[in-house]
Chain A
Amino acid sequence: MSEAAAGRDVMLDISGVETFYGRIQALRGVDIEVCRGEIVTLIGANGAGKSTLLMTVCGDPRAAAGRIALDGADITRKPTFEIVRMGLAQAPEGRRIFPRMTVRENLQLGATTGEEEHFEEDLERVYELFPILRNRADQRGGTLSGGEQQMLAIGRALMSRPRLLLLDEPSLGLAPMIVKQIFEVVAEINKTGTTVFLVEQNAYHALRLADRGYVMANGRIILSGTGEELLSNAEVRAAYLEGGH
């Protein structure tokens, strides 16, 4: 891994991270690097520890061992809200939008850490990425369809102008058409300079989109490489792709 990162600008550096839920160990020494401007994806089966890793990066639950650094600054022991204020944003698993608040209010809450002057501009940008949200601006979050809620969750995360965007299974429970649309938008977000770390079960789409990928099983990274390498890897194909998409 180190030669892959050599000479590159590492933004999120996860090394040797272990996480426990009570006495159950969910992560067993995970090393991942995400470089500036990249899209990196983490694929794996249910219960492999993907979401746990993403949440550990956000400080909840805290890592029991190892070190997580964002732009060189140690964030392993920081509370979630402080990590978020350092320029990281997350569209969490299950979307977790505020169902009784309108789309616009949800987006406003996303701008909590941002500066007030940017607000209208950022709102406009989110509406351009997801035009449907503009039409739904005054509708309650809970009344949106699953795909629209996912768009809202991503849009809300973008409102803080993050340098690093963490996405947890944005394709979960969505129709193939919508998945395609969301992945296109993720690519677009990346082009404007936001680094993306994407956790996915939909291995085919994720690996096609990503610059690099990691494969996780039982709380360990078992494979890594560029998106194409992993797509053509026999093991990956057998475990995650055959009969997949």
Chain B
Amino acid sequence: MAANIAPASRPAGRPVDRPVDRPVDRRGILIELGGTALVVFALTVSLVGFHIKDISGGITLDLRFVDVASAVAIALVVRGWTILMRHGYHRVVAISAAAVAALLVVSLLFGGAGVQPWLPFKAELLQWLLAVLSAGFAIGAGLRISRDGRSGVAGHDGAALDEQDALMDRVGAHVQRNSLWIGGVLFAAAACFPFMPGVNLQYLDIGVLVLTYIMLGWGLNIVVGLAGLLDLGYVAFYAVGAYSFALFASPDSPLLQDLGLTEGISFWLCLPFAGLMAALAGVALGFPVLRLRGDYLAIVTLGFGEMIRVTLLNFYSLTKGPDGISNIPPPSLLGYSTQSKMDEETLQNTTEFHTAMGWDFNQADTTILLYFVILAMALTTNFFTVRVRKLPVGRAWEALREDEVACRSLGINPTNTKLTAFGFGAMFGGFAGSFFATRQTFVSPESFTFIESAVILAIVVLGGFGSQIGVVVAAFLLIGLPEIFREVQEYRMLFFGGSMVLIMLWRPAGLLAHREPTIRMHGRKGRGGRAEADRAT
């Protein structure tokens, strides 16, 4: 945590080797502290200060100015510590931060947030975060003291940062190099997860959700990470996939009724169709707009995402508009239905899987099935991306991201290359969309707002453009953690935003950004491969 905080407070362009004994600029420090307090106050007063409570018989306004004051006080203390660190008072920081951390930890262990009145927030998680933050400061300052003691020189702030950045770079490179091994472990963990002791339905649901976003992240990674096309409307393809499936699978769908069918088409039959529809949507969008570059492309894709949502909302005769389409069946298994309850009529024609196996129906079993379906789908996406990077088309995507002019002068058709990237990315978005529909058993345009696109993009950006394992890590951070910490619901988005800001300051290229060579395009066996990869860096 301290590692994340430090660069946030580093003013740009400050010389690295500035002597410590320079006269302290009291006015500057006061302005800095005042500014910090003002910013934190402005940010928190409306969001935290006024809380609308929804109680039976109406809503009431809950004023929480104590929390605002705590937030300002904490920000001031942290800022104070960074200022002290900057001016070389490491000992003061080490002692005070250690004291605060110890106080918080002791209070939390003996009594918890609800009991101890001096703790700043009611939510226990936040207290723990504060404790970790202070401990981080204490450790950071302690390390600085010990290093200065050894080298006899004080205050090399920038050098430490560079060291730390180099460290993360090495971690990134290391992760990429050993991705096969790490991927294997992750896969084994993912495959065992549903059967581990202590895993209940809630955790399984979170697992399914995280995997859905991992798949979406990997799909978008093709477009953004490999081809370098900023797509702000990825959710459109997710929506197209979801509706393509819902319209053919749900008995409530107007389309199915128009076609005179009473029974929906199975998930497995619809899946390729949904992917195809999404890919077509991707190509249809891409064709006119891929001449645009950078920001302009981002704007158009943003607009396209909204267009799809608004169309779904208003095309009532087909999509039932805001009412959505319900009754979407779960995926069948080996030809058997996995639904829990069916009306008598359908029951006569189909057999349920649990009946066929002689089991009792159990909601957890259905969730486990969903879990493995999305796991397989996500892995397929990953496999595709890893393989395609080694093929000419994948190589061309990456080259296009690096230098479009050079690509054209090498005979690469930029429009077609971008279109394939867009189409493939959209296809995987569509697959994920049909999974979403079958899992929720209900789709409505509500689920496909811009914020979804933003979250998926955030996963890709935080993970590091083009890094497959980075996407997994980021999906856990952005989707898994907030779900697990539902109890601090009101601070979730704060945490989300905060971590985004910190990561962008600390690792602007993404957590695990590091591009490993893909070795060769026209492989001849025997030569190349592994050995070359090892020599590469």
On A, residues with C-beta under 8 Å from B are: 58, 60, 79-81, 84-85, 89-90, 92, 96-102, 104-105, 108-113, 116, 119-120, 137-140, 156, 160
Contact = CB atoms under 8 A, between A and B. Distances in A.
A70 B297 CA distance: 34
A98 B536 contact: no
A123 B396 CA distance: 18
Contact of A80 (B409, B518, B520, B522): B409
B147 interface: no
Interface residues of B, number: 29
Interface string B489-532: 00000000000000000000000000101111110100000001
A120 B522 CA distance: 8
Given A104-B520, A109-B399, 12 more contacts: A60-B405, A81-B413, A81-B414, A98-B402, A101-B402, A108-B395, A112-B411, A119-B522, A138-B532, A138-B535, A140-B517, A156-B410
A160 B410 contact: yes
B406 interface: yes
25 contacts: A80-B408, A80-B409, A81-B412, A81-B414, A92-B409, A96-B406, A98-B406, A99-B402, A101-B398, A101-B402, A105-B518, A108-B395, A108-B521, A109-B396, A109-B407, A109-B410, A109-B412, A112-B410, A112-B411, A113-B410, A116-B522, A119-B522, A138-B536, A140-B517, A160-B411
A113 B517 CA distance: 21
B294 interface: no
A100 B402 contact: yes
A96 B409 contact: yes
B19 interface: no
A147 to B, nearest CB: 19
Contacts of A90: 409
Contact of B408 (A81, A98, A99, A102): A81
B403 interface: yes
Nearest to A123: B522
Nearest to A83: B411
Nearest to A105: B517
Given A98-B399, A101-B398, A84 B411 contact: yes
A60 B409 CA distance: 10
B412 to A, nearest CB: 5
A120 B524 contact: yes
A105 B522 contact: no
B410 A110 contact: yes
A98 B228 CA distance: 14
A58 B408 CA distance: 9
Contact of A112 (B392, B518, B533, B535): B392
Contacts of B519: 104
Contacts of B413: 79, 81
A127 to B, nearest CB: 13
Contacts of B414: 81
Given A112-B412, A138-B532, A96 B522 contact: no
Interface in B260-306: none
Contacts of A89: 409-410
The 5 closest A-B pairs by CB, nearest first: A84-B411, A113-B411, A96-B406, A80-B408, A138-B536
Given A109-B396, A138-B517, A97 B406 contact: yes
A85 B411 contact: yes
A223 to B, nearest CB: 29
Contacts of B408: 58, 60, 79-81, 84
B396 A112 contact: yes
Contacts of B522: 108, 111, 116, 119-120
Nearest to B515: A100
A85 B409 CA distance: 10
B396 A102 contact: no
Contacts of B399: 98, 101, 109
Contacts of B398: 98, 101
Contact of A109 (B395, B520, B536): B395
Nearest to B531: A138
A113 B24 CA distance: 64
B405 A92 contact: yes
A89 B411 CA distance: 8
B411 A81 contact: yes
A104 B395 CA distance: 12
Nearest to A119: B522
B396, B403, B518: most-surrounded residue (chain A CB, <10 A): B403
Contacts of A97: 406
A60 B406 CA distance: 12
A171 to B, nearest CB: 19
Nearest to B416: A81
A89 B409 CA distance: 7
Nearest to A107: B521
A89, A98, A99, A140: most-surrounded residue (chain B CB, <10 A): A98
Contacts of A60: 405, 408
A119 B395 CA distance: 15
Given A101-B399, A112-B412, A96 B520 contact: no
A105 B403 CA distance: 14
Nearest to A95: B406
A219 B399 CA distance: 33
Nearest to B406: A96
